Amino acid sequence: MIKLLTGKKRFSLVAMEACGGSHYWARLAKRNGHEVKIIQPRAVKGLQLKQKTDKNDAYAVGVAALLPHIFSCNLMSEDEQGLQCLDRARALQLAQRTALSNQMRGFLNEYGIVLPKGIAPLVKRIPEILEDAENGLPDSLRQVLASQADILAMQTDQIEYYDCLITEHIKQNKICQKLSKLEGVGPIIALGLMIRLGDGKEFTHSRDASACIGLTPKQHSTGGKERIGHISKSCADKRLRSLLYQGAMSIVYKVTLRAPTTEKERWLKSIVERRGKKIAAIAMANKTVRTAVALIKSDSDYQPLPIQA
């Protein structure tokens, strides 16, 4: 494959299905002058009319690459893919810490010890519980909890280390600095947007980016009748959508507790009053993504518009 991509003197269109290692091969082909398209597996599967074989897969990828309405995935650079790995490693540590803390709570609940939600109450109470000789915990469980408490502390330290690395990289990245100025966007969301949106050229309109992340209503129209439903469960990055929703919800709560100071906050508060907090948070997340695409494409800084007197 390397000889085929590097040895051809005639430049070609190289299309491949998005999978593990596809970005490496796409970068290699692009460095050698080829036009590259990384096709979403869902688009390829929709073109498979026969049984799944290597030949039929290659045919479907080739057809998908030539269709104008099927867009290719954003090609990440080595640095962008490295930052994505950093973000995924942090997410894995968070998931493992949550699973471990839930198991520890379950063990204690079997002996009548119920703890408040959150990592901090668990970390604070575990030493007290282990030192209490009259709470009915057997020695075997005490040994397990002591070991799990050590693992929990190491996972917390690892998450904080990843947070420091992400903060350092964001300080050196101009795009992330621009995105961090948006309402409800912190370091993790800014990093996720930068990785997902790239240079923004993949999206003809900013609303296409919102649809890609899953922040637009699902449409099921037929016979001239338009039916607009809820947001789709299938999206390119569910974790990024969840983070955007959480960041938007924090802005929603702030707006409900004080008077709006910008035109966007006044717009958001009107949606909260008409449709509720959850729909307002989705609308805010949608606007955040669309604004992020505009900032990246225009290479400009975000300037919130104050309310005109």
pLDDT in tens, 252-287: 999 999 888 899 999 999 999 999 999 999 999 999
Tokens 């290719």 correspond to: 72
Residue 309 has pLDDT above 70, yes or no: no
Task: Identify the pLDDT of residue 6.
Answer: 66
Q: How far is CA 232 from the centre of its chain?
A: 15
Final residue in a domain of this structure, among 134, 157, 172: 172
Quote the pTM value.
0.83
Residue 7 pLDDT level (bands cut at 50, 70, 90) = low
- Indicate whether 128 and 212 sit together in one domain: no
First and final C-alpha spacing in the chain: 65
Tokens 């695409």 correspond to: 293
Q: Distance (Å, rounded) from C-alpha 196 to C-alpha 141?
A: 44
Task: Identify the pLDDT of residue 8.
Answer: 60
Query: Beta-carbon neighbour count of residue 254 at 10 Å?
Result: 14
Q: Are 248 and 284 in contact (CB under 8 A)?
A: yes
- Indicate whether 290 and 193 sit together in one domain: yes
The residue count of the chain comes to 309
Tell me the residue range of the domain where 125 lies: 78-172
- Indicate whether 132 and 232 sit together in one domain: no
Residue 153 has pLDDT above 80, yes or no: yes
Question: What's the token pair of residue 128?
Answer: 């007290």
Q: What is the pLDDT of residues 82-140, one digit of tens each?
A: 999 999 999 999 999 999 999 999 999 999 999 988 899 999 999 999 998 888 899 99
Q: What is the pLDDT of residues 36-65, one digit of tens each?
A: 898 888 888 888 777 888 888 888 888 888
In a domain, 303, yes or no: no
Residue 213 has pLDDT above 90, yes or no: no
Q: What is the pLDDT of residues 160-209, one digit of tens each?
A: 999 999 999 988 889 999 999 999 999 999 999 998 888 888 888 888 88
Task: Identify the pLDDT of residue 74.
Answer: 82
Q: Is 70 buried (19+), middle (13-18) or exposed (0-12) by CB count in 10 A?
A: middle
In a domain, 234, yes or no: yes
* Backbone φ, ψ for residue 236 (5° rounding): -70, -35
Task: Identify the pLDDT of residue 228.
Answer: 74
In a domain, 307, yes or no: no
In a domain, 101, yes or no: yes
Task: Identify the pLDDT of residue 205.
Answer: 84
Average pLDDT of the chain? 88
Task: Identify the pLDDT of residue 91.
Answer: 94
- Indicate whether 184 and 127 sit together in one domain: no
Residue 1 pLDDT level (bands cut at 50, 70, 90) = low
Amino acid in position 83: L
- Indicate whether 128 and 225 sit together in one domain: no
- Indicate whether 56 and 120 sit together in one domain: no
Question: What's the token pair of residue 54?
Answer: 């290597």
Residue 34 has pLDDT above 90, yes or no: no
- Indicate whether 165 and 182 sit together in one domain: no
Q: Are 198 and 236 in contact (CB under 8 A)?
A: no
Task: Identify the pLDDT of residue 13.
Answer: 87
Number of domains in the chain: 3
Tokens 């104050």 correspond to: 306
Final residue in a domain of this structure, among 121, 137, 172: 172
Q: Is 203 buried (19+), middle (13-18) or exposed (0-12) by CB count in 10 A?
A: buried
In a domain, 246, yes or no: yes
Task: Identify the pLDDT of residue 3.
Answer: 65
Final residue in a domain of this structure, among 66, 100, 115: 66
Query: Beta-carbon neighbour count of residue 230 at 10 Å?
Result: 9
In a domain, 309, yes or no: no
Q: Distance (Å, rounded) from C-alpha 43 to C-alpha 39?
A: 7
In a domain, 42, yes or no: yes
Side-chain half-sphere of 161: how many Cα atoms within 13 Å? Answer: 8
Question: What's the token pair of residue 187?
Answer: 């370091």
Tokens 């101009």 correspond to: 174
Question: What's the token pair of residue 42?
Answer: 């869902």
How much of the chain exceeds pLDDT 90, in percent?
A: 49
Q: Distance (Å, rounded) from C-alpha 181 to C-alpha 170?
A: 12
Q: Distance (Å, rounded) from C-alpha 253 to C-alpha 281?
A: 10
- Indicate whether 208 and 272 sit together in one domain: yes
Residue 306 has pLDDT above 90, yes or no: no
In a domain, 73, yes or no: no
Helix (H) or strand (E) run with residue 80 in it: helix 78-109
Residue 5 pLDDT level (bands cut at 50, 70, 90) = low
Q: Is 122 buried (19+), middle (13-18) or exposed (0-12) by CB count in 10 A?
A: buried
Q: Distance (Å, rounded) from C-alpha 117 to C-alpha 146?
A: 19
Task: Identify the pLDDT of residue 208.
Answer: 85
Q: Are 60 and 47 in contact (CB under 8 A)?
A: yes
Mean pLDDT, rounded, for 210-239: 78
Q: Distance (Å, rounded) from C-alpha 297 to C-alpha 199?
A: 7
Residue 14 has pLDDT above 80, yes or no: yes
Question: What's the token pair of residue 131?
Answer: 């030192």
